[in-house]
A and B are shown apart, each in its own frame.
Chain A
Amino acid sequence: MTGGFFSMGGYAAFIWPCYALTAIGMIWLAYASWRKAKDNAARLDALEQGPPVDGTDTPDAEG
């Protein structure tokens, strides 16, 4: 990688932030979305194995 590549014909200050910000934005959204899906899946698993339903004759409040 020569110095010429990084300086991008003198426009480095515009081109690199451009690509950097795009990458940051897209990667951040992808990570956040993946994180949310993972957290939700974990919460669902916890709920589905969750506190055992009371099997005794507790009257159902909703009727």
Chain B
Amino acid sequence: MFDYLANPTRFVRIADVLFRPVAILATGLILVGLYFALFASPADYQQGDTVRIMYVHVPAAWLAVLGYVAMGVCALFYIVWRHPLADIALRAMAPVGALFALLTLVTGSLWGKPMWGAWWVWDARLTSMLILFFFYVAVIALANGFDRAERGSRPAALLALVGVLNVPIVKFSVDWWNTLHQPASLIRSGGVSIDPSMLTPLLFMLAGFHLYFVALVILRMKALLIERRITSLQLRQARQTAKPVHPTNTGPNA
């Protein structure tokens, strides 16, 4: 299947076909999820209505991590198997995953204030997510940090691979740090016993967020592929309309 999709023109055609249904389905699932989350589900026995924040916080956190793993897989395809669309996929996924990481932090903070009394607490999960956000920003900055646009693909892919290997290390080290520094922790890291009536909104939002991710990645990949085509067309047209050779025109760019 990945070989089939490797042709950019074919991918753009497939993307055009897939995008609208995926986007509509995503929107539908999220809307249904919102209905359940805000209306048709009960408040929690202990946390009251703040449990409703979980319905955006948990899906966002899940997608943030999944997004980074997906980026790592793309990086693998790019570095090892040289799949022609893998770096485009990686570039497309990074901002979406980064957004989810940021939303996780923001919603986690808004959840934490009523629960624990502080806008930010250094609990293991939020701290790990903060570091994951840094990892995302690093990949995005590296991918776009070169004058020649495509030059950033390989370093960004290598960094994503290094990052994916490091995510478990970071998670472990933060958990380690957290348990050592807070032996008698009064902070229950968001452990909510899931009542079946709470599962419904959670699953709908989770599914909706997944499809949102897919839709946006398809959209961004299409935009990037078109951008590449534009660049190569511009190069070709520049060559075809180039003036006759002058001594000062030759040689590598200064």
Q: Tell me which of B48, B216, B237 contacts A30 (CB under 8 A).
A: B216
Main secondary structure of the interface of A (DSSP, over half): helix
Query: Which of B96, B230, B237, B245 touches A29 (beta carbons < 8 Å)?
Result: B96
Q: Which of A18, A54, A61, A62 has the most CB of B within 10 A?
A: A18
Could you say which of B50, B60, B96, B212 contacts A11, with CB atoms under 8 Å apart? B50
> A15 to chain B: which residues have CB within 8 Å?
49-50, 52-53, 110
Q: Select which of B48, B57, B237 is within 8 A of A51 by beta carbon.
A: B237
User: How many residues of B are counted as interface, with CB atoms below 8 angstroms from the partner's CB atoms?
Assistant: 45
CB-CB under 8 A from B111, the residues of chain A are: 14, 18
> Within the complex, what minimum Cβ distance (angstroms) separates A1 from chain B?
10
A5 to chain B, nearest CB (A): 8
Q: Within B13-63, which residues are at the interface with A (CB < 8 Å)?
A: 34, 38-39, 43, 48-50, 52-53, 56-57, 60
- Which A16-59 residues sit within 8 Å CB-CB of chain B? 17-19, 21-22, 25-26, 29-30, 33-34, 36-37, 40-41, 43-44, 47-48, 50-51, 53-54, 58-59
Tell me whether B114 is interfacial, beta carbon within 8 Å: yes
Closest Cβ neighbor of A8 among chain B residues: B49
- Kindly list chain B residues whose C-beta atoms are within 8 Å of the C-beta of A62: 239, 242
Contact with A along B119-162 (1 / 0, CB 8 A): 00000000000000000000000000000000000000000000
Report if A9 contacts B (CB, 8 A): yes
- Asked whether any CB of chain B lies closer than 8 Å to the CB of A3, the reply is no
Known contacts A22-B107, A30-B216, A37-B226; A14/B114 CB under 8 A? yes
Tell me whether B110 and A17 are in contact (CB under 8 A): yes
By a CB distance below 8 angstroms, the chain A residues around B249 are: 61
A53 & B56 in contact (Cβ 8 Å cutoff): no
Cα–Cα distance between A33 and B216 once the two chains are bound (Å): 7
Question: In the complex the two chains form, what is the Cα distance from A5 to B43 in whole Å?
Answer: 11
> When the two chains form their complex, are residues B216 and A59 in contact, meaning their CB atoms are under 8 A apart?
no
Min distance, Cβ A40 to any Cβ of chain B, angstroms: 4
Chain A nearest CB from B23 CB (Å) reads 8
Are A54 and B237 neighbours in the complex by a CB distance under 8 Å?
Answer: no
The residue that A36 contacts in the complex, of B53, B60, B223, with Cβ under 8 A, is B223
Sampled A-B contacts (7; CB under 8 Å): A14-B110, A15-B49, A18-B110, A29-B216, A30-B212, A43-B226, A44-B230
